[in-house]
Structure 1
Amino acid sequence: MLILGASYFFYGVWDWRFLILIFLSSIVDYGAGRLITLSRKRKKDKQATYILYTSLIWNLGVLFIFKYYNFFLDNLKMLFDIPENTFTTLNILVPVGLSFYTFQTISYTVDVYKGKISASDNLLQFLCFVSFFPQLVAGPIERASRLLPQFANRRKFNYQYATEGLRLILWGLFKKMVVADNLAVAVFAIYAHPENFSSPEIIYGALLFFFQMYCDFSGYTDIARGTAKMFGFELSINFKLPYLVKNVSSFWDRWHITLSKWFRDYVYVPFLQNKKRTQINRFNALMLTMTLMGFWHGANWTFLLFGISQALILWFESIPIKVNGTKKNVRSFLFKNPIIGRTHFILMLIIGMIFFRSADIASAWEMIMRMFTSWDIDGFDLVIGWKIGVLGILLLAEYLTRTKDHPLQQLESHYKKPVRWLVYYGLVFLIIRYGGPQEEFIYFQF
């Protein structure tokens, strides 16, 4: 009851009216799970299918109305030259975290339908599963099989969990407030007026945005996981050093892992089911999956193009080739040739980040064109100077502790109190003294 009350209070502080929506979504999917189970017991498989479709229509319908209705309406008006007053544009906010908790409930109902999990028979626990405040507004997108049973456990204070959670929170705050929010200053300057910057600065800005987004989103995930840990919950790891990879396929195995796995399990795999694994079928599956994943981020053509570009790159990396008489694919070739692989990854990453961050297609195209046509190295300016050093320290710390969950994990087993306190208070000092301008978490908008 305390967790549910805290979660609803947390969400209601933003806008209490949307508590009705999250409650209704919870009731719909809880009821769908129970009715699907009942239908299966009575051997009424068609009825179970209809219930699943009802749940999907509700969830996807809510997403469409709040997030995509105006986008489709505006494009239809433009495409068919429809008079402005023919259809009414909805003047409504997109609820924070809508895409996250909707995908969480969709996966629950689908898994119950497929028999992968049993339907929850405890409404209170299910309401907590949907609205759990640490991960409610920006993930990780948890599966019911992992998170829901944890609400059935007796709540008992665990000192080790509490201290580990606080370390995660501290590391997440450092990544978000010191690194991401300071990088945001340079990123905004470059993306706002790309015409004022040279090719090296455009490339630099795209790379900075990638690291801003990484520190922002993985910082939030650390804070969410740390907060959950203090209450005795384990949330999924969402990032595994995605900047160290040699191809885009590996990147999506390490970036926003819970979203990538969601689309793999509920879009890519079902699409290929009962189909031959030909290149054209893989291409179609990748195009559908990545386009939807891009569109998941927002109702904008730039996100669609971001998804399409990722699909094309992933398909290219899956093309079979022969190297020294051995049959391989481009992905394995890139993996075994680190210089070529990392060059390919960085170039593809830069183009992807430009599409992702730009306000519209025209801005993205201008940045890409300037990236290749304005090589005025004399005018190159680092913009944020010493803050690059802080980013370097963060990346080095993560690399050196890459076998751990995070750099501050289990410090007491390696260092005595004075050293640990120096690390903790050093990070607290950096957060208070050098925290950048207060920026909203990037993924709140999705």
Structure 2
Amino acid sequence: MFKSQLNIQNLILLIASYVFYGWWDYRFLALIAFSTIADYVISHVIERQKPQHIKKCLLIISICINLGLLGFFKYYNFFIESWVDIMAQVGFRSNVGSLNIILPVGISFYTFQTLSYTIDVYRGDLRASRSFVNFATYVSFFPQLVAGPIERATNLLPQFSQIKKFNNDEAIAGLNLIIWGLFQKIVIADSCAIYVDSIFENYEKVNSFSLLLGAIYFAFQIYGDFAGYSNIAIGTARLFGFNLMRNFNYPYFSRDIAEFWRRWHISLSTWFRDYLYIPLGGSRSSMITTVRNVFIVFLVSGFWHGANWTFLVWGGIHAILFLPVLLLGFNRKNLDQVSISKLIPSFKELFQMTFTFIVVSIAWVFFRADNVTIAFKYLKRLVLDFSWGIEFLNIDRYNFELLLLVLIVVLIEWINRTHEHPFMGKWKWFKIFIVILMLLTLGVYSDHQDFIYFQF
């Protein structure tokens, strides 16, 4: 009875997940199904083999299948166009054309999820799943399918072997996360997007103050957009009785770049740490090898985000920022929450957080710009324009009007920085009431947009 009920439960989740994904474009259901079947079969064969070289060959096959599909759909046109441009620079004309390829939504996320499963089975950290339905549901679990968190099989897969029953406390916790995620997305990210789009589209006309605000607003746009989705996904999963990993931990309160990456997109940064950085040797070898490994991880991380040179430069900037912290041994210094027992941070902490936020925001300009040239022109005007007046943007709003809302969010998060989300601790229902009120007022005026990370 137990097994039958569990199978029905997971089968319903699997069907719901496939309907959810197919609603976007049913043609790509075959792609996720193929990846699922391939890794399910390969993992079982790996587990049954004893010779290490055979296991390694099978793992390589799995990696090639997954990264091959990801590479074709996401990077084929980028490589072709880059090759044509390089040939043109040296005087050769190439007739190789690009293809009209649709990028399957969420392919970067579920590809890394299936890869980590196969690698864990190869390492012996996890047994191959005995239930295909459980494994297929793990790969396609709809709350986090299209934009994460990138779940490890060691955490999520065993949860599909447990009968789920409604838990009132978990459901309320899930709803709280969903409400806060909606606030981050609709009120913060979408409001910031209106100003960001205006400023970046007219960067050659606006002054330094507007360009500075454009970078700051985008920092909060991408944070509210991505952290908002993550919280909605985690909250939705909790409604079904599943616990997903935390993906953001107040990253803009970081005191150095290493701490930032422990708090930003945690599921991706830990994935690269465990499956790329450490296998490459991490920081255990020579300084040259350590520098190489850091650049590999951050450049691959940048390239994971999209097929554009801007993402590679963004990754390279973070590698340059991260290296001094690592080489000086400061990368594990700030492991605690900042000013955990104080309301007001010290001057040193405030300076560290401000500096880290500034350099992260500068790097975000490359992430947001259409190409590297525009990003450099944007930063050049920001520094050299020397005009800091308040401007009226082409969206019929003054460039500073959003600052109050951003500062309110910073204050809310600062006060609640020791909690998973601001609705925990004191004044819970009052905070929920205020946030819902802001959703119903400010939220209706924002220009609603797709989640940024849907394109990755």
Normalising by structure 2, we get a TM-score of 0.89
SS at match of 1:120: coil
**1:445 aligns with one of 439, 451, 455:** 455
| Counterpart amino acid of residue 364 in structure 2 | M
1:147 maps to 156
| Counterpart amino acid of residue 407 in structure 1 | P
SS at match of 1:378: coil
1:29-428 equivalences under 5 Å are 29-39=39-49, 43-81=50-88, 83-85=93-95, 87-272=96-281, 276-320=284-328, 329=330, 337-338=348-349, 340-380=351-391, 383=398, 385-409=400-424, 419=430, 422-423=433-434, 425-428=436-439
Contact 2:423 2:431 in 1 (8 A): no
Give the drift of 1:206. Answer: 0.6
Output one character per residue of 1:399-433: Cα deviation in whole Å (capped at 9) or x when no partner. 2112211112377xx66x7x577446524523654
Structure 1's 433 and 268: CA in aligned 2 closer, same or farther, altered over 3 A? same
Give the drift of 1:379. Answer: 4.7
Between the two proteins, the alignment pairs up a number of residues equal to 428
1:324 maps to none
Give the drift of 1:204. Answer: 1.5
Q: Which runs of 5+ in 1 are unaligned?
A: 321-327
Counterpart-to-counterpart distance in 1, 2:106 and 2:173: 26
Pick which of 243-252 and 11-20 moved more: 243-252
Contact 2:186 2:439 in 1 (8 A): no
Give the drift of 1:362. Answer: 1.0
2:4 maps to none
Counterpart-to-counterpart distance in 2, 1:6 and 1:365: 45
Counterpart-to-counterpart distance in 1, 2:438 and 2:22: 32
Contact 1:179 1:391 in 2 (8 A): yes
Contact 2:183 2:435 in 1 (8 A): no
Counterpart-to-counterpart distance in 1, 2:435 and 2:332: 41
Give the drift of 1:331. Answer: 8.5
Contact 2:40 2:135 in 1 (8 A): yes
Give the drift of 1:209. Answer: 0.2
Structure 1's 350 and 410: CA in aligned 2 closer, same or farther, altered over 3 A? closer
Output one character per residue of 1:361-419: Cα deviation in whole Å (capped at 9) or x when no partner. 110010111121011123556835543322222222222112211112377xx66x7x5
Structure 1's 180 and 122: CA in aligned 2 closer, same or farther, altered over 3 A? same
Output one character per residue of 1:165-193: Cα deviation in whole Å (capped at 9) or x when no partner. 11111111111111110110110111112
Give the drift of 1:330. Answer: 8.8
Counterpart-to-counterpart distance in 2, 1:205 and 1:290: 24
Contact 2:174 2:239 in 1 (8 A): yes
Counterpart-to-counterpart distance in 1, 2:298 and 2:126: 27
Structure 1's 28 and 330: CA in aligned 2 closer, same or farther, altered over 3 A? closer
SS at match of 1:195: coil
Counterpart-to-counterpart distance in 2, 1:157 and 1:431: 33
SS at match of 2:279: helix
Structure 1's 330 and 155: CA in aligned 2 closer, same or farther, altered over 3 A? closer
Structure 1's 177 and 421: CA in aligned 2 closer, same or farther, altered over 3 A? closer
Give the drift of 1:329. Answer: 4.9
Contact 2:182 2:228 in 1 (8 A): yes
SS at match of 1:383: coil
2:28 maps to 18
Counterpart-to-counterpart distance in 1, 2:376 and 2:369: 9
Give the drift of 1:296. Answer: 0.3
Contact 2:36 2:114 in 1 (8 A): yes
Give the drift of 1:235. Answer: 0.8
Counterpart-to-counterpart distance in 2, 1:420 and 1:214: 20
Output one character per residue of 1:68-90: Cα deviation in whole Å (capped at 9) or x when no partner. 111111111121235453x2422
Structure 1's 88 and 130: CA in aligned 2 closer, same or farther, altered over 3 A? same
Output one character per residue of 1:239-266: Cα deviation in whole Å (capped at 9) or x when no partner. 1111111211111110001100011111
Counterpart-to-counterpart distance in 1, 2:210 and 2:58: 53
| Counterpart amino acid of residue 123 in structure 2 | K
Counterpart-to-counterpart distance in 2, 1:423 and 1:182: 17
